[in-house]
Structure 1
Amino acid sequence: MAVPTPPSVPGAPRRVPPRAPQRAPRPTLVEDSADHLLLHADVLVIGGGPAATWSAITATEQGASVVLVDKGYCGTSGVAATAGVGHWLVPPDADRRDEEITPREEQGGYLTDRDWTNDVLDEAWYRTALIEEWGYERTRRSRPAAGGARTAPAPNPFARRPGERSFSGSSPDYLRFLRGKVKKNGVTVLDHSPALELLVDGAGVVSGAQGYQRQTGRAWRVASGAVVLATGGTTWKSHSLGGDVNTGEGHLMAAEVGAHLSSMEFSNFYGMVPFGTSMDKNGFFVTASYWDHQGVPIAYENLHKSRAELLAASLRGTITAQFTQFGPEVRPTLRAAMPNFFMVTDKLGVDPFTERFPMDWVQEGTVRGTGGVHVLDRDAWTGVPGLFAAGDVAARDRVVGAATGAGGPNLAWAVATGTWSGRAAAALAADRGPSSRGLRLEPTGTVGLRPDDAAHPPRSAPAGEGSWREITAAVRDEMLPIDKSVFRHHQGLVRSLDTLDDLWDRAGTELVPAAVRGAEAIRTRETAGMLAMARWANRTALHRTETRGMHTRTDFPDADPQQARRLLTGGLRDLWVVPDPEPPVTGDAGAPYAAPTPPTRAEEAS
C-alpha cells in the first residue's frame, strides 16, 4: 500500500507565516430553521478540547471565519477537562532539549523523531507564552474563607526559574479561558453537536461536515474551505474518566475520505485507579511503591514505557499501592495540583501517602496511547486535500514513540498541531475562496450511517438499538481485558480479529439508523468508530512481531532491531499494514538544534 504524498490538485496545504491577532469575520448563516442549521465558514474545527480551541484561535488569527462543533460542551467534556494542566515546556536551548528528549527516545523504543519533537516543543514554548498576554491568570489575591480568615494566594501558573518557564494549574480554569478566547476571536461554537460525517466536493476536497444537534433535535451542516479534526483519542467506552465521549468516529471519518493511521499497535495503555473507581487522572503512580496480592513488593522498570510487570501481577490478584515517594512537606502542594484525585481517596477514607490501598486498571486506549491519524507534515495535514488533524486524534509516535505521551507531551502536541492545523486550514480556505462554499457537497459516511450494500447484500432489516448495544459490548470484550489487549500472542490476535471482522460484516448491514442525521445515528456511528479502531489496533499488533514499549508479544518477548520502524495502517473492509517509509530520527541523526527566532510584530502583520 503506497503512502499518500501531497497531491498536485487544488486543496494541497502550504506553509504561511502567522498574522497579527485579529477578530475574524463571522461565518455566514444560510439557514436556521427548526429542522436544519446551515453555515458557511472558512474553517470548520470538529472537537472542543485543547487542540480544537488552539486550532480555532490560530485560524482566526489568520483572518478566517471559523465554526467549532463539539460533541459535548466545548471546554468541559473529554479527558482534558478532568485533569490538571502541565504542558511539556522546554526552553529553546540545545543542551536542555537534549536532556529532555534523549530519555524519551529510549522510553519510546527509538521510534521517535528528534526534529519533529524540537518543532513541537518550539511551537508549544512560543504559543503558551501568549496565554498570560491574553489575560489568563489564576486568582493570586487571597480570598476570605469561612470565619473571615484569609487563604494563601494561589500559586502563579507561570512561575519561572532563569531561562525556564512552566505553566500548570487547573484544567477547568484553562479550558474555560480557551473557550472564552475562542468566542472573543469570533468563532461560532455549536455545543452538543456531534459530527457524523465529512463532506467532499466534486474534486474530492474535504469541504465541511454534517451532524446532529442534541438539544435542539435538528440536523446541522457546515460548508467550509477546510476541516480540522480534533476529536480526541479512543477508550472503547472503558469508563476512563471523561473518556467515554472518545469513541473513534473522528478516525473513521478520516479513513472514509482516504486518510491512514500510524502506530495503532500502541493503543493499549492502562491507567491506574483506586479500586472501584474511574479516577485515572494523576501522575503519582509512576514512581509509587507496589505489592502483589500476597504482600510481596513488585519491582518495575519504567511505568512511562511499560506497565507489564504490574499488569501481570494484577492477573494473579489485587495489588496495592502507596505514594511513598513524597515527603510530608510537598503533600499539600500535590493535593492542590490534583484535587479530583484526592477527593476520591478522601471519600474512600484512604491517605495514599501513608496507607496502602487496592488499585485497579482502566483501558485508556489512544488517549494515553500513541496511535491515531497519520499527519504528513508541520501543517498537521492528513494527506487528504482539505483535511487536517490535531491533538489526540493524530498519532503522536514521532514525539513519544512506543511509550505513552502522558499529560505534558500530549498537551505540547495539542498546542503545536492545533497551531499548525489552524494556520494551514486558514491558508487553504483563503486559496480556495468563498465560492467553494456554494459547491454541491457529497456525504462520505459509511458504516454506522448507511447500509454497505455493495460489499454485503442486506441479510435482514436494520436491528436498531439492540444491534449497536450488542456490537459495542462485543468490541469492549475484545479490547478491555488485560489478558487480551496487553499480553498479546499470534493465536489470540487472530481469534480477536476474526471476531472483529465478523462484527464489521454485521455492522455493514445492521448499524443503519432510521435517519442518517438523527439522534440514533450518534450511537450507531460511535459503535462503528470503536469497531474500526479495534480492527486497526489488532491488525497492526499482529504485524509487529516483537515486544517494544507498551506493545507486549508473549510469543516474541524481545525487541527486534530490524523492526525499529513505525507502522502505518488503513482501509475499511480490507485492512493493510506497511512500514512507514519515514524512518525514526534519534540521537545524533537529528539536525543540530537551532532555536528559531520569534517573529516580530511587524513580521506577523506582513
Structure 2
Amino acid sequence: MLTTHSENELQLTADVLVIGGGPAAAWAAWAAASQGVKVIIVDKGFLGTSGAAAASGNGIMAPSPENWDKVVSERYRVGKNLANLRWIERVIEKTWLSLPLVEDWGYRFPKENGESVRQSYYGPEYMRVLRKNLLRVGVQILDQSPALELLLANDGSVAGARGVQRQHHRTYTVRAGAVVLANGGCAFLSKALGCNTNTGDGLLMAVEAGGELSSMEASNHYAISTAFNATVTRGVPFGWASFSDEAGNDLGGYVNGRRDPSFLPNALLKGPVYARLDRATPEVKAVIEKSHFIAYLPYKKADIDPYTERVPVTLVLEGTVRGRGGIRLTDDSCGTKVPGLYAAGDAASREFLAGLASGGGGPNAAWAISTGQWAGVGAAAFAKSLGAHANERVAHPTGQAGLRSPQADKTPSSAFDSEAIVRGVQNEMFPLEKNHFRSEQQLLDSLSKLEKLWEQVQANPKQDTVRDVEFSRRAAALTAVARWGYFSALHRTETRGEHIRVDYPETDPNQRYYQATGGLERLWVRRDWIADAMSGDKTQSVYTTPPALRDLRKNKVPVILEYLGSADLPAPTKSLEWK
C-alpha cells in the first residue's frame, strides 16, 4: 500500500476503499480483506463510537432456521407487495450464519441453556469488537476523515475518493480499484441519537458519479422521544404507555386492541401530548431499565419516575435511517449503476427487505451485516479484475455542489451560509404537516423552497478550514436528499408504508413498482415495475405526467424534469424543461 503525504495532503492507495464507520462499513471492510486485498476504511467520526448502531442496543433479525418461513412471510407482508421474498430469505440466512463470527471475534451474546442467544447486540461493545477485528486483519482505518467526493476513471468506473482529515487539517485522496459506500442514510441533523453523522453524503456522491437512488419517497420516518430530551428515539418502552393531552384527558389511540400508527402524529398536530408508562408490569420495568437503559436514562437524569409521572413526548425525524430510500442496487453483490461502486447498510435502498415500510431495528441490523459482506466481496472481485495497475488510471473528482462552484468564474460572489441552508432544509423536512402528512400542494411548495436552496449551494462554498469544507458539502447533501425525497413523494400518488398522501389515502394495487430517481440540476423519476416478487425481475417504463406536474409553471417551482425510458420501450420524444 503506497503512502505519501505532505502538510496539506495525504495520498494513499488500496484495492478497496470503504466509506463509513457503522456495522455495514465494518462488515464490508472485513469481507473485502478476507479476499486477500488491501483495504482502507474512512469514517466521519471514530469507527466504533460514531453512528446510530454504536449509540445503544439493537435487535437483529436472525431467527433460528425453523422460524425462517414465519419471519420471511411477515417481512413480506409488512412490505405491502413491494418487498422481495428472495432477498428477505438471503438476508436472514446470511445474518444467521454470520453471527457466530462475532462471537469468535470476542463478543459475548447472552446464554440460555448453554446456547448463545444471538437476537440483539449492545452497540458500543459490538462496534468495539468489529473495530478490533478490522485492525487484526490489517485494514487501515482513517478516523475523523469524512469522504466528500468520489473519483472516476475515464471509462466511468470508480477510482477512489477524496476527503478531509479534521485532526490533521488537511485533505486526503485514496486511489482504489473499487469503493463501498456504507456511510449511512440521512436524518437531516435532527439530533436523533447517533444520527448526526448521517447526512446523506453517500447519496449525493453516488448520484454525482452516475448512480441512481430508489424509493426515496420512504425518506420520512419519525420516531417517538421525550420532548425534554428529544434525542433518544427508542420506542419500545412507549408500548406500555398511556397518552393524554395537556388537560389530562386520555387520548386512547387503540384500534382493535392495537395502537393506531397514525395516532401520535395526529394528536401532536392538535397540541402537546404526554405519556406515562403506567401499563408496565414489574417484569416489563426490569426489561426497560436493563435492555433499554438508553431510553430510561433521560428519566433518571431528570429525576422523573416515568411509571407515575406524565412527560411530554414528540416525534423526531430519522429520515432514511429507519426509512427505506437510498442508493439503488443493481445485483446480488450490492453493485450500483457505476462500475466498481457498491453500497451497503442504510446508504443503500432497503426496498427489497421492507418495501416502503420501516425496517428499523432488527431488519436494518441484518441488512447491514449481509449487504456489508456482499458489497465487500463484490468490491474485492472488481478490484482484482482490474489488475495490478488499477491505481494508475487517469481519474477526476466528481464533487460539485458545496465543493466547487460552477458559477465562480462567471459571477464571483461571497460564500453561501451553510448553517442557513441547513435551517432552510429542516424547515421543510421536520414539520409533520409537511413530511408525514403529505399532499400535492405542500410537496410543490416545499420543492419550490428547496430549489431555491439548491441554487444557493451552487455558489462559492466557504473553504477557509477543513470544517468549512465539510459543512459546505454537508449543506449541499442535505438539500439534495430533501429534493429527491419530495420529488419521489410527489410522483407516488398513493399511501403505502411510510409514504402517506392525505390526498391519496388508499394503497393503489396498480402502483406495484419501485421509483428510481436521481439527477442534480435535472431531477427525474422512473418506474421500475416489479414483474416477479420471487426473482425481483423488473421492467422499466416511461413516467407519465401526473396532474401535480401540469401546474408547475403556475406554482413557479423551478424543477427541471426528465422522462426516462429503457431499451425495451419507446424513447420519450421530449423532456419538459423550463425556459
TM-score, normalised to structure 1, is 0.84
Q: After superposition, where does 1:399-410 map in structure 2 within 5 Å?
A: 399-410=353-364
> Match of 1:100, as an amino acid?
V
Match of 1:451 in 2: 405
**1:426 is aligned to 2:374:** no
SS at 1:280's partner residue? coil
Task: Give the conservation status (yes or no) of the 8 Å contact 1:546–1:557.
Answer: yes
Q: After superposition, where does 1:218-367 map in structure 2 within 5 Å?
A: 218-277=170-229, 278-286=231-239, 288-294=241-247, 295-300=249-254, 307-367=261-321
SS at 2:103's partner residue? helix
Displacement after TM superposition at 1:286 (Å): 4.6
> Match of 2:129, as an amino acid?
F
The Cα offsets for residues 334-356 of structure 1, whole Å up to 9 and x where unpaired, read as 31212222111112233334443
Match of 2:463 in 1: 514
> Match of 1:202, as an amino acid?
N
Structure 2 Cα separation of the partners of residues 387 and 304 of structure 1: 43
Displacement after TM superposition at 1:457 (Å): 8.0
Match of 1:15 in 2: none
Match of 1:548 in 2: 496
**1:86 is aligned to 2:59:** yes
Q: Give the one of 180, 184, 208 matched to 2:136.
A: 184
Question: 1:158–1:113: structure 2 CA closer, same or farther, 3 Å change rule?
Answer: farther
Match of 1:145 in 2: none
Displacement after TM superposition at 1:298 (Å): 2.8
Task: Give the conservation status (yes or no) of the 8 Å contact 1:42–1:434.
Answer: no
Task: Give the conservation status (yes or no) of the 8 Å contact 2:20–2:44.
Answer: yes
The Cα offsets for residues 73-100 of structure 1, whole Å up to 9 and x where unpaired, read as 001011111120321102334xx22321
The Cα offsets for residues 391-441 of structure 1, whole Å up to 9 and x where unpaired, read as 001111111112111110000000011000110111111111231112222
Structure 1 residue ranges without an equivalent (≥5): 1-27, 138-155, 592-606
| Greater length-normalized contact order (CA 8 Å, ≥ 6 residues apart) | 1
**1:568 is aligned to 2:516:** yes
Structure 2 Cα separation of the partners of residues 112 and 458 of structure 1: 48
Task: Give the conservation status (yes or no) of the 8 Å contact 2:223–2:235.
Answer: no
**1:493 is aligned to 2:439:** no
Structure 2 Cα separation of the partners of residues 205 and 412 of structure 1: 29
Match of 1:170 in 2: 122
Task: Give the conservation status (yes or no) of the 8 Å contact 1:108–1:305.
Answer: no
Structure 2 Cα separation of the partners of residues 302 and 246 of structure 1: 37
Task: Give the conservation status (yes or no) of the 8 Å contact 1:368–1:405.
Answer: yes
Displacement after TM superposition at 1:459 (Å): 4.3
Match of 1:3 in 2: none
**1:108 is aligned to 2:79:** yes
Task: Give the conservation status (yes or no) of the 8 Å contact 1:565–1:579.
Answer: yes
Question: 1:34–1:158: structure 2 CA closer, same or farther, 3 Å change rule?
Answer: farther
Structure 1 Cα separation of the partners of residues 112 and 518 of structure 2: 44
Question: 1:458–1:531: structure 2 CA closer, same or farther, 3 Å change rule?
Answer: farther
Match of 2:394 in 1: 440
Displacement after TM superposition at 1:306 (Å): 7.8
The Cα offsets for residues 222-261 of structure 1, whole Å up to 9 and x where unpaired, read as 1111000011010111111121221111100000011111
Match of 1:136 in 2: 107
Match of 1:377 in 2: 331
Q: Give the one of 529, 532, 536 matched to 1:581.
A: 529
Displacement after TM superposition at 1:158 (Å): 5.3
**1:73 is aligned to 2:46:** yes
Question: 1:312–1:115: structure 2 CA closer, same or farther, 3 Å change rule?
Answer: same
Displacement after TM superposition at 1:584 (Å): 6.5
Structure 2 Cα separation of the partners of residues 436 and 301 of structure 1: 60
Task: Give the conservation status (yes or no) of the 8 Å contact 1:107–1:304.
Answer: no
Task: Give the conservation status (yes or no) of the 8 Å contact 1:199–1:441.
Answer: yes
> Match of 1:419, as an amino acid?
Q
Task: Give the conservation status (yes or no) of the 8 Å contact 1:565–1:584.
Answer: no
Question: 1:301–1:198: structure 2 CA closer, same or farther, 3 Å change rule?
Answer: farther
Displacement after TM superposition at 1:544 (Å): 0.9
Displacement after TM superposition at 1:267 (Å): 0.8
Q: After superposition, where does 1:440-479 map in structure 2 within 5 Å?
A: 440-453=394-407, 458-464=410-416, 467-479=417-429
Structure 2 residue ranges without an equivalent (≥5): 538-579
Question: 1:104–1:391: structure 2 CA closer, same or farther, 3 Å change rule?
Answer: same
Structure 2 Cα separation of the partners of residues 358 and 109 of structure 1: 33
Structure 2 Cα separation of the partners of residues 285 and 474 of structure 1: 31
Q: From the two aligned structures, give the one with the greater strand fraction.
A: 2
> Match of 1:470, as an amino acid?
A
Task: Give the conservation status (yes or no) of the 8 Å contact 2:425–2:482.
Answer: yes
Question: 1:181–1:202: structure 2 CA closer, same or farther, 3 Å change rule?
Answer: same
Structure 1 Cα separation of the partners of residues 452 and 409 of structure 2: 15
**1:214 is aligned to 2:166:** yes
SS at 2:272's partner residue? coil
The Cα offsets for residues 562-602 of structure 1, whole Å up to 9 and x where unpaired, read as 1132211111111111212344627xx999xxxxxxxxxxx
SS at 2:252's partner residue? coil
SS at 2:217's partner residue? helix
SS at 1:450's partner residue? coil
> Match of 2:314, as an amino acid?
D
Structure 1 Cα separation of the partners of residues 88 and 331 of structure 2: 13
Structure 2 Cα separation of the partners of residues 439 and 160 of structure 1: 56
**1:484 is aligned to 2:434:** yes
Q: Percent identity?
A: 41
Q: After superposition, where does 1:36-47 map in structure 2 within 5 Å?
A: 36-47=9-20
Task: Give the conservation status (yes or no) of the 8 Å contact 2:253–2:260.
Answer: no
Task: Give the conservation status (yes or no) of the 8 Å contact 1:566–1:583.
Answer: no
Match of 1:117 in 2: 88
SS at 2:154's partner residue? coil
Structure 1 Cα separation of the partners of residues 531 and 186 of structure 2: 26
Q: After superposition, where does 1:12-23 map in structure 2 within 5 Å?
A: none
> Match of 1:430, as an amino acid?
K
SS at 2:446's partner residue? helix
Task: Give the conservation status (yes or no) of the 8 Å contact 1:225–1:433.
Answer: no
Match of 2:31 in 1: 58
Task: Give the conservation status (yes or no) of the 8 Å contact 1:44–1:224.
Answer: yes
> Match of 2:374, as an amino acid?
W
Structure 2 Cα separation of the partners of residues 538 and 457 of structure 1: 32
SS at 1:224's partner residue? strand
Structure 1 Cα separation of the partners of residues 257 and 203 of structure 2: 27
**1:397 is aligned to 2:397:** no
Structure 1 Cα separation of the partners of residues 498 and 17 of structure 2: 34
Displacement after TM superposition at 1:308 (Å): 2.3
Structure 2 Cα separation of the partners of residues 299 and 67 of structure 1: 50
Q: Which moved more, 1:223-232 or 1:398-407?
A: 398-407
Question: 1:67–1:75: structure 2 CA closer, same or farther, 3 Å change rule?
Answer: same
Displacement after TM superposition at 1:449 (Å): 0.8
Q: After superposition, where does 1:196-211 map in structure 2 within 5 Å?
A: 196-211=148-163
Task: Give the conservation status (yes or no) of the 8 Å contact 1:88–1:409.
Answer: yes
Structure 2 Cα separation of the partners of residues 104 and 306 of structure 1: 19
SS at 1:388's partner residue? strand
